[in-house]
Amino acid sequence: MVTEREKMIIGECYNANDRELVDARQNARRLTKMFNDSLPEEGSKRKRIIEKLFGKTGDKFYIESPFHCDYGFNIEWGENSYANFDCIILDCAPVKIGKNVLIAPNVRIFTATHPIDPRLRLQGVEFAKPVTIEDNVWIGGGTIINPGVTIGENSVIGSGSVVTKSIPPSVVAAGNPCKVIKNIDHR
């Protein structure tokens, strides 16, 4: 028997009102409140909270508060990666943040989505698609990253972008919808 949590993580339609998922969201709310209420100088306490919340972290990372997420256990946070103020991650599916990633203020990362058919939406089912941000990426302020997107290593996403499709490695991309503007020359 596949649980609603397992269905959610693998991208099948699931019931978000399942007791296990409701409890997991409540746990994430409790931990993010503890994190957001902590003082900036309480670095080790803040780190322990995030390590308890996330599925995996690097040893060295920093996240500014406020920070919010749905579950936390689906987030893999890479070594030396940073998120500025007001980051929101809806992690119904896995969210993988690579090493040396810079996330500017007010960035939203969404894995949760809903059926297009209104009859299915009215039944309360939803599904999720994973998001991957590879190593050495810089995400500009106010960017929205939609379900199922991968942002390739070394790329830069311009502020205010809405990323609806995957972005290749080593490019600058921006806009709504986000499109490649130029390649990054590593010479």
Active site residues: 114
Asked if 61 and 77 count as a contact pair (C-beta separation under 8 A), the reply is yes
Q: Which residue(s) pair with 103 in the sheet? A: 83, 139
Q: Which of 45, 90, 48 is nearest to 67 (CA)?
A: 90
Nearest Cα to 131, choosing from 144, 120, 141?
A: 144
- Of 177, 94, 107, 175, whose CA–CA distance to 137 is shortest? 107
- DSSP H or E run through 26: helix 19-37
How far apart, in whole angstroms, are the C-alpha atoms of residue 79 and residue 98? 7
The overall longest dimension of the chain from CA atoms, in Å, is 54
Task: Strand 179-183: give its sheet, edge to edge.
Answer: 61-63, 81-83, 102-103, 138-139, 156-157, 171-174, 179-183
Distance (Å, whole) CA 110 – CA 22: 18
